[in-house]
């Protein structure tokens, strides 16, 4: 009987274009044996789920099967649990597991990148990083009503056209033109606007700008005219217009940009219904938890004591780095003591039985935490440091920075980086004060319009070229959490909730967030 099941599995996999390793086959068999009366359905369900995964190869091994089986068993557990229970409603996506999509400007659609993505990319990967960013925003702008070319010629006076021109086509042209490109410094002190056709030197001295930080590497839409010296004089300048999330999702035709798999209409409706009922769910987000500082640990214990005694405990605690008051660089020699401090944090959580049993704990590294380098995205904290903590809190989750969390249908992005200070330092033009003079609002406008968490020049903040897509914000998520050393702030921008929980070590601030209502509750000790 077992031999027949083996043949059945191998045949079904072959039809779908997969080949199978022995350990992968054993893993599938152990899953299928759970469903003695419905073996065919179980195999098909497993294969359907495999199709949705971004597999590195068509050869199926134990690891890839185990990943899918875990997802299916989680989903089964979710249906068995009551709607009020939130354990299965929260899914964490590590940045390095996010599928990569590229836009084809000729066929006008996205296609998923196949094959492996090496950490050390070739030179072409760096050029592809800028091209992919530009094309991602270009396809969004090309649907915006202000930039769509009219189907019929109309009177220019009554209907002024904002149609985009390529930079190459500006040569020899007179009059105002709209262009879109990346701000680049191709020569010291000389800034250029660059698209896929050419580059032109730009002059911002008379430019009227919109809200946001205009830095090198940001993509802008500019109106201006060519001067006789071959310089493009910018008159008005702004970021590419945003697109409604629902509109973006329609265009993407079922592609999974977030990394949690695509859902059927029925599943989405069911999750949306459960989400509406999850009014008691709360996330507690703390940034900068220095484990080597006794005062900080005492304050953290006070916070945990407070939440241990509330009627309904938080569904999720998000602890963002830095986890040490000193940068974990080459001169840092206290890894063993940091390991034991993580162990003490585990003991502290274990001493709160309701939190340990009913809450999830997510750990995201900070910019100065230990890791291979300061390049983004950063991988999860090393196992050496976290082993002691996991003995006390087995369900603790250690993820990358940035990382993504899906709560029923809601998509949230968590990013721990001192971004505000660096964006202000890198500004080429003083930000406009016409709409707001709040730097945090300028930061939120920049990252949402750029559809990128960190649009800084690569020499200011290096990014792994092949993994730049992990920092994309497209389609726009529901919530963006920007852990920063600056003061607590929240700003709802075009329906996106953005907030900074503040620095827990500096001023004892943190945030309690209710995802159901997207309500941000500032807290402090």
The region that residue 377 occupies, defined by phi over 0 for left and psi between -120 and 50 for alpha, beta otherwise, is: beta
pLDDT, tens digit (0-9, with 9 covering 90-100), for 481-490: 999 999 999 9
pLDDT bracket for residue 86 (50, 70, 90): very low
How many CA atoms lie within 13 Å of 244's alpha carbon, on the beta-carbon side? 5
Whole-number Å distance between alpha carbons of 79 and 268: 14
| Predicted pLDDT at 159 | 47
Instruction: Give the per-residue pLDDT at 14.
Output: 80
Taking the C-alpha atoms of residue 477 and residue 36, their distance in angstroms, rounded to an integer, is 41
284-336 per-position pLDDT tens digit: 999 999 999 999 999 999 999 999 999 999 999 999 989 999 988 878 888 99
State residue 80's pLDDT score: 46
Spell out the domains of the chain, with CATH numbers in brackets: 1-81 (1.10.8.60), 279-403+502-524 (3.60.21.50)
Q: Which helix (H) or strand (E) holds 440?
A: helix 439-450
Residue 135 is predicted with a pLDDT of: 96
Q: Is the Cβ–Cβ distance between 467 and 253 less than 8 Å?
A: no
Distance separating alpha carbons of residues 255 and 261, to the nearest angstrom: 8
Angle subtended at Cα 329 by Cα 392 and Cα 366, rounded to the nearest 5 degrees: 55
Check residue 88 and give its pLDDT: 63
pTM, 2 dp: 0.81
Say what the pLDDT of residue 44 is.
78
Strands (E), 22-176: 59-60, 90-94, 101-104, 109-112, 164-165
CA distance 375 to 357: 35
Give the pLDDT band of residue 54 (cuts 50, 70, 90): low
Which are the contacts of 432, defined by CB distance < 8 A and separation ≥ 6?
A: 208, 209, 210, 211, 212
Per-residue confidence band for 155, with pLDDT thresholds at 50, 70 and 90: low
Measured in residues, the chain has a length of: 525
Give the span between the Cα atoms of 448 and 212, in whole angstroms: 10
| Alpha-carbon span 220 to 212, nearest angstrom | 11
Q: Among 166-175, 222-231, 414-423, which stretch is predicted with the lowest mean pLDDT?
A: 166-175
Q: Are 515 and 481 in contact (CB under 8 A)?
A: no
Is the model more confident about 469 or about 25? 469
- pLDDT tens digit sequence for 64-77: 788 788 777 776 66
The mean predicted confidence, pLDDT, of the chain is 88
Average pLDDT over residues 117-144: 93
More confident residue, 152 or 353: 353
Question: By C-alpha distance, which of 38, 46, 52 is closest to 20?
Answer: 46
Range from 145-159, 420-434, 462-476 carrying the lowest mean pLDDT: 145-159
On whether the CB atoms of residues 281 and 515 are closer than 8 A, the answer is yes
Alpha carbon distance 394, 391 (integer Å): 6
Tokens 């925003």 belong to residue: 137
């Amino acid at each position: 009987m077992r031999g027949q099941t083996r043949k059945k599995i191998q045949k079904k996999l072959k039809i779908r274009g997969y080949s199978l390793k022995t350990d992968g086959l054993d893993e599938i068999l152990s899953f299928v044996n759970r469903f003695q009366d419905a073996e065919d359905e179980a195999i098909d369900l497993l294969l359907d789920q495999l199709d949705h995964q971004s597999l590195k190869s068509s050869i199926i091994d134990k690891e890839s099967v185990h990943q899918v089986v875990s997802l299916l068993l989680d989903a089964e557990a979710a249906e068995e649990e009551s709607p009020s229970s939130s354990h299965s409603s929260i899914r964490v996506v590590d940045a390095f597991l996010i599928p990569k999509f590229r836009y084809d400007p000729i066929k006008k659609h996205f296609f998923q990148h196949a094959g492996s993505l090496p950490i050390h990319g070739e030179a072409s990967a760096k050029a592809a990083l800028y091209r992919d960013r530009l094309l991602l925003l270009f396809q969004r702008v090309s649907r915006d009503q202000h930039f769509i070319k009219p189907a019929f010629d109309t009177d220019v006076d009554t209907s002024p056209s904002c149609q985009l021109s390529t930079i190459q086509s500006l040569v020899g042209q007179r009059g105002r033109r709209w262009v879109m490109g990346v701000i680049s410094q191709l020569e010291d002190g000389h800034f250029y606007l660059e698209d896929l056709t050419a580059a032109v030197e730009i002059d911002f001295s008379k430019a009227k700008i919109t809200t946001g930080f205009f830095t090198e590497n940001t993509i802008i839409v500019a109106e201006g005219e060519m001067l006789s010296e071959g310089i493009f004089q910018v008159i008005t300048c702004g970021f590419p217009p945003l697109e409604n999330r629902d509109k973006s999702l329609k265009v993407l035709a079922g592609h999974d940009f977030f990394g949690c798999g695509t859902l059927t209409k029925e599943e989405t409706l069911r999750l949306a219904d459960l989400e509406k009922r999850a009014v008691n769910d709360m996330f507690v987000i703390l940034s900068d938890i220095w484990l080597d500082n006794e005062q900080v640990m005492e304050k953290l214990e006070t916070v945990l004591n407070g939440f241990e005694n509330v009627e309904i405990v938080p569904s999720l605690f998000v602890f963002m780095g830095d986890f040490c008051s000193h940068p974990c660089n080459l001169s840092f020699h206290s890894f063993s003591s940091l390991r034991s401090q993580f162990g003490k944090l585990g003991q502290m959580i274990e001493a709160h039985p309701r939190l340990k049993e009913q809450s999830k704990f997510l750990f995201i590294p900070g910019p100065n935490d230990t890791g291979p380098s300061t390049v983004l995205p950063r991988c999860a904290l090393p196992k050496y440091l976290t082993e002691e903590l996991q003995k006390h809190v087995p369900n603790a989750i250690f993820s990358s920075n940035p990382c993504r969390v899906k709560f029923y249908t809601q998509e949230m992005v968590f990013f721990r980086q001192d971004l505000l200070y660096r964006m202000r330092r890198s500004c080429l033009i003083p930000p406009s004060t016409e709409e707001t003079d709040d730097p945090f609002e300028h930061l939120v406008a920049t990252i949402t319009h750029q559809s990128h968490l960190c649009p800084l020049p690569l020499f200011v903040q290096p990014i792994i070229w092949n993994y730049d897509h992990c920092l994309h914000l497209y389609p726009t998520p529901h919530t963006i959490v920007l852990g920063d050393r600056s003061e607590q702030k929240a700003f709802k921008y075009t329906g996106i909730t953005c907030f900074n929980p503040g620095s827990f070590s500096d001023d004892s601030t943190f945030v309690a967030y209710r995802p159901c209502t997207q309500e941000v509750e500032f807290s402090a000790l």
